[in-house]
Chain A
Amino acid sequence: MFLVGSFFLFAAFLITTCIFVIFSKNPVNSVLFLVLAFLNSTFLFILIGAEFVGIILAIVYIGAVAILFLFVVMMLDIQITTLMFNIKRYIPLALLFAGIILAEIIYLTVFKTSKENLDTFIRSKNNTEQIGDVLYTEYFIDFQLSGIVLLLAMIGAIVLTHVYRPTIKRQNIESQNSTTAQDRVKLVKINSGEGIKDD
């Protein structure tokens, strides 16, 4: 009973914050509500025993992605605009989506009551060990490929946003390495009373 109550609390918060993300006028508020939505889904994941994914969601989304959004929102000068809310144009779409939700709910609650219960499973290992067993053996190639995807995204983001300024003086490593001692120093023999003659 506690589980169901907590589920409904967090689910209601999640849906409310998702709605606020869309309908906030200020993009900074939208980003902060997005953080709250991710936090609520973290709670939901921990509630059903998927602790590892929940904590990863908190670290990756709240700690990295949402803060990246926040930095970009603060960097850009965005004027506060309202939604172009032309309700007549979207009524068929809204009815379609509402029909889909209604059909799913009726199908799930009336025709297909799920028998799965959380208490029936006996777990010999904890969640992190279970994921680690599969992730580093069966999904090893996929794991490496996702690392390559992240590397490509990093390189792509740097290449896209990098600004080349030709006025900045930089180190020219090639010319530094190719110089010899004769280019920079020369030995001058100074005779008495003559001084150094310029070439």
Chain B
Amino acid sequence: MTSLTYNHFFILSLIVFIIGCFGLFLNRRNMILILMCIEIILLAANINFVSASVFLNDINGQVFSIFILTIAAAEAAIGLAILVIYFRNKGEIDITQINQLKD
């Protein structure tokens, strides 16, 4: 274990991914934390792509990482816009109240 291998990065990205998933499951009130957990999950995917690209000496992984970054930025913008109009209409961002469309 004296040199850095792909396994280190794979396990790290797995742990970060599972932390993000657990944030999604545990957090049941705050909608903005859900968006942050999605960002963490995308970060884990990025770590996996970039480290695989470096250790396999193939540049395509880093290009895909840039595309993931683009989509993540677009997703954050749209999600926060939805959050802002939801807050403007309801005055709160409690996600347990969102199911009012059913009534």
Chain A residues within CB distance 8 Å of chain B? 1, 3-4, 7, 11, 14-15, 18-19, 21-22, 27, 30-31, 34, 37-38, 41, 44-45, 48-50, 52-53, 56-57, 60-61, 64-65, 68-69, 72-73, 75-78, 81, 83-85, 90, 93-94, 97, 100-101, 104-105, 108-109, 112-114, 116-118, 121, 127, 130-131, 133-135, 139, 142, 146, 149-150, 152-154, 156-157, 160-161
CA distance A15 to B35 in the complex (A): 18
Are B59 and A130 in contact (CB-based, < 8 A)? Answer: yes
Given contacts A150-B73, A152-B74, contact A48 B66 (CB under 8 A): no
Are A14 and B12 in contact (CB-based, < 8 A)? Answer: yes
CB-CB under 8 A from A154, the residues of chain B are: 77
CA distance A127 to B57 in the complex (A): 11
CA distance A17 to B102 in the complex (A): 38
Are B55 and A114 in contact (CB-based, < 8 A)? Answer: yes
Are B50 and A131 in contact (CB-based, < 8 A)? Answer: no
Chain B residues within CB distance 8 Å of chain A? 1-12, 14-16, 18-23, 25-30, 32-33, 35-37, 39-40, 43, 46-47, 50-51, 53-57, 59-60, 62-63, 65-67, 69-78, 80-85, 87, 91, 93
Kindly identify which residue among B6, B15, B67 contacts A15, using a CB–CB cutoff of 8 Å. B15
Q: Write 7 A-B pairs (CB below 8 A) sorted by A numbering.
A: A15-B19, A44-B9, A53-B46, A65-B39, A117-B5, A142-B67, A153-B73
CA distance A49 to B65 in the complex (A): 14
Kindly identify which residue among A76, A112, A130, A149 contacts B87, using a CB–CB cutoff of 8 Å. A76
Given contacts A48-B54, A72-B80, contact A131 B62 (CB under 8 A): yes
Are A146 and B71 in contact (CB-based, < 8 A)? Answer: yes
Q: Smallest CB–CB gap between A21 and chain B, Å? A: 6
- B75 to A, closest residue via Cβ: A153
CA distance A152 to B63 in the complex (A): 21
A-B pairs, 10 with minimum CB distance = A153-B74, A22-B23, A157-B81, A160-B81, A146-B70, A116-B55, A108-B7, A84-B28, A18-B19, A114-B6
CA distance A196 to B30 in the complex (A): 71
